[in-house]
Amino acid sequence: MFSDGRVYLDYNASAPLKPGVKAAVAAALDLAGNPSSVHGHGRAVRRAVEDARARVAALAGAAPTRVVFTAGGTEANNLALRGFPGRRVVVSAIEHDSVLAAAPDAARIPVDSQGRADLDALERLLAETGPALVSLMLVNNETGVVQPVAEAARIAHAHGALLHCDAVQAAGRLPLALADFGVDLLTLSAHKIGGPAGVGALLLAEGVEPEPLLRGGGQERRRRAGTENLLGIAGFGAAAALAAEDLAAAQDLAALRDSLEARALEAVPAARVMGAEAARVGNVSCLALPGVGGETQVMALDLAGVAVSAGSACSSGKVKASHVLRAMGADDSLAGSALRISLGWGSTDEDVGRFLAAWTAMARRLGPAQ
């Protein structure tokens, strides 16, 4: 709960800045200089950037030289998907919009009713195409369902394809190791793990080199031109180092999430938890209330002082059912009635209780007859 008494349960959208990250950013504010400058001021800034790079690399078991800092997860995804011209792109049907929009003509890997990628379909797709780049997220941002990335990587490599993994929602929630998953490119974003918004990274396996999207100077080993964002990078490094604490608390968050779902379904039996039968990270619940639009629920909960996200997106005033839930077989009505409740480092049982009280009252007022 925030100091103003409001409850924040939207960590998958953006996690509140951790105190240790604020301290790192504040320290970076005292540095002056361009990290490409060779004088003392520039060297001090360069040391701060490289220290942060090492911490981000350690989060995913990569070498620091294989970390490319970007302006966020979206840019990192675009660099991965657009960095290998000549390769056909294959993506799962439940990817983040930054992946789907980066490769609008990509072949789609279907998912089952629980939101898990169909690896037999991936095998067939790769058998029908030439050199390819496959993109499969590690954790879905709406449902929390964990994807079979290591198995997908083995299939991709058997067909001479590269495997990109958007691990933005997995960092701090699952152990990450580039080599263990066998992925060639991995995306991270600072603000999902208690770091600042506007900074991310693409991690590269040895020998993998995408063509740069941004050209200019020699920054980031000529992989991404532009003066490095010192404040964002320093905060990212601090957040990456602190992410181990989130892993240690993952069991507690899972218990909190499980309690939320059990109490919600007991109070409102018509509700449904999407992806409940699949392996999920412990901080996310996708809770559908048939007959009540997600946006209506978000607004009602906001009035009650509780912040969550809808499982559907609104673009130019037109409501659009979640492509993730549609890919899982949900119709527009069900897909448009889902909420995403996502917990994080500051979440408490009191927060969950506040959500349940407000959501249950709303469901009984607006939802189907119980």
Residues taking part in catalysis = 314
Residue burial 242-256, b: 16+ Cβ < 10 Å; e: rest? bbeebeebbeebbeb
In the numeric block, which tokens belong to residue 293? Answer: 């639009």
Alpha helix segments (H runs only) across the chain:
19-29, 40-59, 73-82, 97-100, 119-127, 149-158, 178-181, 219-222, 230-248, 250-267, 294-303, 323-327, 332-335, 349-366
Gap between the terminal Cα atoms of the chain: 30
Q: Minimal CA–CA distance to 75: which of 225, 244, 206?
A: 225
Alpha carbon distance 176, 174 (integer Å)? 6
State the amino acid at position 269 in one-letter form.
P
Give the angle 106-166-276 at the CA atoms, nearest 5°. 95
Alpha carbon distance 105, 89 (integer Å)? 8
Alpha carbon distance 314, 322 (integer Å)? 10
Query: DSSP of 29-68, one letter per residue?
Result: HT--S-TT--SHHHHHHHHHHHHHHHHHHHHTT--GGGEE
If you compute the radius of gyration of the chain from its CA atoms, what whole number of angstroms results? Answer: 21
Alpha carbon distance 3, 222 (integer Å)? 44
Residue pair 283/10 in contact by the 8 Å Cβ criterion: no
